[in-house]
């Protein structure tokens, strides 16, 4: 096989003459290394070659024992999330553990939690606000990871609010202002924390999304939302303060402090790589680098803030 090739689970199934569901289970157990491009799973040819070579020299029972003692987290750690803080975290982990593949899946909060539930990720991030309890993340994690215990570890706290044009010419200051007929908005995709925050606020106002101009105008990141407002294609969008600091031509209207957390399975918490991840979050080097870029509250970074 060419080392430049990668395969879908279906292609791996055809090569090994097994079902694609068996391939997904192999990936979930860590028998076969895989990575993500968006929502798609890929297996590199060298990793498939390695699996085949191991299979030739070991009995099924020996292979099962090997997969139990060397889970996927020892070969690769897949982290879901989009914040720049995750880039810093990944870089620190890559420096300390060069033998491990640290892979990023740039998806929103709900998609990340579903990937964690399906065994397609090791770490998810979330900033999902629940209007019934006023809490972040825990109510959603309990429902999106049924039957699984999870630890919630704070990454950062950050300000969520509105991106508006410089000087806020339309005086947009509250959620009610989004309903005004002279206000055009730009929205995030379904499942993202910003979209959930907006929808929960509309629920509290007993307002239909149809009342908002631009509700169906969707962009896929905080920076894209801020950029849309900056160039005048929308009057307002929901996002985080850090993105506003990176885009010229926008002001930021803070509305609430959100808790941005890492989520891992409790069963993984005592594994060396996950312990190292928590230690990295608490390290002076990591904290100093994040503090240096500004825009985040690190007072609870690395703390286990809930267990569900």
With a CB cutoff of 8 Å and minimum separation 6, the contacts of 156 are 83, 85, 260, 290, 296, 297, 298, 301
pLDDT digits (tens, 9 = 90+) for 238-265: 999 999 999 999 999 999 999 999 999 9
CB 243 within 8 A of CB 224: no
Would you list the domain boundaries of the chain?
A: 6-155+262-307, 158-258
So what CATH class is 158-258? alpha beta
Which tokens sit at 227?
């950029």
Distance of CA 92 to the CA centre of its chain: 18
- Would you give the end-to-end CA distance of the chain in angstroms? 44
Record the pTM.
0.76
pLDDT digits (tens, 9 = 90+) for 84-94: 999 999 999 99
CB 303 within 8 A of CB 261: no
pLDDT digits (tens, 9 = 90+) for 39-67: 678 888 888 888 887 766 544 444 344 44
pLDDT digits (tens, 9 = 90+) for 148-158: 999 999 999 99
pLDDT at position 21 is: 66
pLDDT at position 56 is: 63
129-137: Cβ within 8 A, 24+ apart: 129/193, 129/196, 129/197, 129/200, 129/256, 129/258, 130/200, 131/200, 131/201, 131/203, 131/204, 136/258, 136/259, 136/261, 137/259, 137/261, 137/263, 137/306
Indicate if 158-258 has the same CATH topology as 6-155+262-307. yes
pLDDT at position 69 is: 38
The CATH code that applies to domain 6-155+262-307 is: 3.40.190.10
pLDDT digits (tens, 9 = 90+) for 18-41: 877 678 778 877 788 888 776 678
pLDDT digits (tens, 9 = 90+) for 280-292: 999 999 999 999 9
pLDDT digits (tens, 9 = 90+) for 156-189: 999 999 999 999 999 999 999 999 999 999 999 9
Q: How far is CA 251 from CA 84, 171, 294, in A?
A: 20, 11, 16
Q: How far apart are CA 249 and CA 78, in angstroms?
A: 35
Question: What rounded mean pLDDT belongs to the chain?
Answer: 89
**β-pair partners for 168:** none
The yes-or-no verdict on residue 5 having pLDDT over 70 is yes
pLDDT at position 71 is: 37
pLDDT at position 75 is: 63
Task: Say what percent of the chain tops pLDDT 70.
Answer: 91
Lowest mean pLDDT among 13-22, 230-239, 294-303: 13-22
């Amino acid at each position: 096989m060419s080392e430049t090739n990668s395969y879908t689970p279906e292609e791996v199934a055809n090569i090994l003459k097994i079902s694609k569901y068996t391939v997904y289970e192999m990936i979930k157990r860590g028998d076969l290394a895989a990575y993500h491009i968006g929502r798609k799973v890929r297996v590199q040819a060298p990793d498939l070659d390695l699996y085949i070579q191991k299979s030739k020299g070991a009995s099924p029972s020996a292979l099962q024992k090997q997969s139990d003692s060397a889970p996927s987290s020892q070969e690769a750690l897949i982290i879901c999330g989009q914040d720049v803080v995750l880039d810093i975290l990944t870089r620190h982990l890559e420096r300390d553990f060069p033998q491990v593949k640290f892979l990023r899946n740039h998806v929103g909060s709900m998609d990340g939690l579903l990937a964690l539930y399906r065994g397609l990720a090791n770490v998810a991030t979330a900033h999902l606000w629940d209007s019934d309890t006023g809490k972040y993340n825990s109510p959603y994690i309990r429902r999106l990871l049924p039957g699984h215990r999870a630890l919630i570890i704070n990454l950062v706290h950050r300000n969520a609010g509105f991106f508006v044009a410089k000087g806020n010419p339309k005086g947009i200051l509250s959620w009610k202002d989004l309903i005004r007929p002279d206000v055009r908005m730009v929205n995030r995709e379904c499942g993202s924390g910003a979209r959930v925050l907006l929808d929960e606020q509309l629920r509290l106002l007993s307002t239909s999304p149809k009342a908002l101009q631009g509700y169906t105008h969707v962009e896929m990141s905080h920076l894209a939302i801020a950029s849309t407002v900056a160039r005048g294609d929308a009057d307002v969008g929901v996002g985080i303060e850090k993105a506003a600091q990176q885009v010229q031509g926008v002001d930021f209207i803070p509305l609430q402090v959100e808790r941005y957390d890492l989520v891992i399975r409790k069963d993984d918490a005592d594994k060396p790589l996950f312990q190292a991840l928590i230690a990295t979050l608490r390290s002076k080097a990591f904290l100093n680098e994040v503090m240096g870029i500004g825009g985040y509250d690190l007072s609870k970074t690395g703390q286990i803030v809930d267990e569900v």
